[in-house]
Amino acid sequence: MTSHRSRRPHAVVVRSLSAAALVVLAGCASEPAAPSPADTEAPLPQVSASVRSGPPEFVAGEMIVKFRAGATTVARARVMRGARAALRERILTASMRRRGDTDGIQVLQTDLDVTTAVASMLSDPDVEYAEPNWVYHHEAVSNDPYVTNGSLWGMGSGFGTQAVTAWANNKTNCSGVYVGIIDEGYMYTHADLAANVGVNPGEIAGNGVDDDGNGLRDDVYGWDFAANNASVFDGLNDDHGTHVAGTIGGVGGNGQGVAGMCWRVKLLDAKFLGTNGGTTANAIKAVDYFTNLKLRGVNIVATNNSWGGGGFSQGLQDAIERANAAGILFVAAAGNSTLNCETSACYPAEYPNANIIAVASITSTGAISSFSNYGVTTIDIGAPGSGIFSSVPSGNRRNIMSGYASYSGTSMATPHVTGAAALYAATHPGATAAQIKAAILSSATPTPSLAGRTLTGGRLNVSGF
């Protein structure tokens, strides 16, 4: 797949986070306990995007290393001694093996300052690359009430996606399409999501056996790479992933709640973000999880990536490229730091991989959201991301119920585009990832606030899909 993307890594200054901290979601500040004054006036919980500043974060004492092919055991031991490093984890995914990689990557612990240890590794000819284990953040006609009362402005209205026009033309059914959610978990029992839960067709539920041979037992609805188990919904804290899922595939026409871009679609989850976040290492596993499913015949069209932060990672970019080779779009949040991504690091949105669609956020008046990152060659398109209603878990630990809330962030803009990819794939069977991306970008509606700030200069419009 060809692309305009030809950028090189930005030079970044890094700072460490405590070793307990992992990757935190990329698009919104998902802390409803502390709403802003404007939020408290809303009829439902509102969450605004937080604007972050400062250098990228990484996990203290950890780095990701790939040795060159042919590096001997003796050479590896020598390199690790020089960096005062020890093996924490070896990652060799099925997708890596399919691409001919028999070694994978290593997550190493070091007693040195991470930047010093990385520099030591990079100076050795037996090392292909070494990098910090970066930390990411949230970048947070239907008879469904929030559609009919106008709350779901992102689906219609003057500056919405015009999904309502596609729906009116009977383009609602994406049931043959799978979408991968790389995020927190999501509440797959939610009243507006249960009918669209995707199932790994190679796995038999509850038998304790790795039926499809991917190394994961009972990954029926996906996998939690943070906890290394098959539980992809762990309670109220999985609100961000549930919100994203509702925008992509909230069940439409059921007389309740919201409607997603696709009323019928199959949602699978690769959870790598928890309460304290997640790591680059687990993000790589999550991306490769869906690539492996695609190569096994599951129709994964796109993954939604409403997260970001950290610096350049060769390991993560390589995983995205494996997804590209498999024909999977990687839809990424631009980020919430009001940065110009031409001059600042905005990963993973600005990686040069041809399968990436990077998404900025706009408001219901067509303005670029105050928090949204932008970039005339680095960010592709705008989509609704301010004041977006969608599904969330609600209640308490003992009684978790189906709820709804309004969140803001490039996290909320991104699933509109992911849902659009699924919708186009459903209405154009056999379309390649390159063709789907081209259709999304070429149909963008010119928008003054996005001119010179995104590649298309426009906002998502699916009316012709």
- Cis bond before residue 348 (omega within 30° of 0): yes
Does 219 qualify as catalytic in the annotation?
A: no
* CB of 403 closer than 8 Å to CB of 189: no
CB burial string 267-291: b at 16+ within 10 A, e below: bbbbbbbbeebbbbbbbbbbbbbbb
CA distance 278 to 258: 29
Does 192 qualify as catalytic in the annotation?
A: no
Which of 39, 124, 144, 183 is flagged as catalytic? 183
Which of 240, 361, 369, 449 is flagged as catalytic? 240
Does 240 qualify as catalytic in the annotation?
A: yes
Which of 411, 416, 443, 449 is flagged as catalytic? 411
CA distance 308 to 310: 7
φ, ψ dihedrals at 134, nearest 5°: -65, 155
Would you tell me the crossing angle of helices 433-442 and 410-427 to the nearest 10 degrees? 120
Over 171-204, what HEC string results?
A: CCEEEEEEEEEEECCCCCCCCCCHHHECCCCCCC
Tokens representing 111 are 């007693």
* CB of 294 closer than 8 Å to CB of 425: no
Instruction: List, by residue number, the catalytic residues.
Output: 183, 240, 411
